[in-house]
Amino acid sequence: MATEETVSAGESKTVTANSIIVKVEAGDSALKSAGRRLLVTVLVASIMMNLMFLISTMFSAVSGSGGDSVPTSHHSGDKGSKAKLAVINFSGMIMPPYTERWLKQIQAAAEDDNIQGVLLAVDSPGGLVADSHQIYRELQKLRTKKPIYVAMKRLAASGGYYISMGIGPEGKIFAEPTTWTGSIGVIIPRYNATELASKIGVTVEPLVTGPLKDTLNPFRDMRDSEKLVWDAILKDSFDRFVGVIQENRAGLDDEQVRALATGQIYTTNQAIENGLVDEIGYEEDALDALAAVLQLDSYEAVQYATEQTLMDLLLGGKSATPRNMLEEFLDTTTPKALYYSSWNPWVPTTSR
């Protein structure tokens, strides 16, 4: 005996009396399966991060590592020469924990009487507004004691250019022929996922004490009142960037800087034409020029380094601060003003 049972709208299927029909919603099943896999991945990653943190903590307790000393190594020049020039490598995104390391290196150069001049080797797309300004301020202090030059490498853009202004108008900026620089401006990342949320049935309803508490929420459109608030924040950071360049680049006034501050990346030749860079040259050229200003017949260039912790080794040198997955997720949702040369600051960048 045969029966007929509807399995989907407009379709039918003939089956035997003993058949069992199991209705499966393919889309829902795939979504739930993907969700379970994601949760398992997050759980495993969180466990691994916490295990590495525990191991690192135990190792530090035993070895006594993590002191405040800033080790140096020979970079170039006459090894053993009493007169020394320090090279500080700003490589990677300007953000914790690297900011603290660079600040220590700047302070070490300021306090070392053997260091007569400092070269900033910049290879950075920029980073956090606050961190860029912290480094800039510390360099301002250093330049009152010793001359500072800059050698730009692959990329010295946005925050990478901002910190370069710390050398002052008396400093000199060298850039390699293929360097990209500029990208003067501010970005606050925001994603609009309202359409995606509606498709998968997600509704975000945070409990807040004021209309601006959940501003930048990616699951709803931004209100006009919120845009006004963020425009003011952006303007404050942007005006500070413009002012820093005007103050430290002789020959560039406010109007000229603002004309250049479109977010555009400039080649070395363009940067020289626009007064953003002084000369085409490499690290060794910048060091020789700095030594000439100091009237040094002989010098040794030393570079600062940070002793790697066990966690640095475990994570391939990408992070010195282990955090669990929840902390990582919450960090990506925190509003951040950036001097950064990309629309997407969450692409991983390493510090070398």
To the query of whether residue 198 is one of the catalytic residues in this protein, the response is: no
- Residue 44, classified by CB atoms within 10 Å of its CB into exposed (0-12), middle (13-18) or buried (19+), is exposed
* Residue 342 identity: S
CB 211 within 8 A of CB 225: yes
Q: Which two tokens stand for residue 229?
A: 């608030």
Among the options 13, 32, 213, 318, which is catalytic? 213
Residue 309 makes CB contacts below 8 A (sequence gap 6+) with: 56, 60, 65, 66, 320
Distance between start and end Cα atoms, the chain: 76
Q: Collapse the DSSP code of 277 into the 3-class scheme (helix H, G, I; strand E, B; otherwise coil) and give the result.
A: coil
Among the options 56, 91, 158, 237, which is catalytic? 158
Alpha helices (H) in 64-209, listed in sequence order: 98-111, 129-143, 159-164, 194-200
CA atoms within a 13 Å half-sphere pointing along the CA-CB vector of 340? 23
Q: How many helices (H) and strands (E) does the chain have?
A: 11, 13
Q: Which two tokens stand for residue 30?
A: 């795939």
Please state the length of the chain.
352
Other CB atoms within 10 A of residue 81 CB: 15
To the query of whether residue 65 is one of the catalytic residues in this protein, the response is: no
| Residues carrying an active site annotation | 158, 213
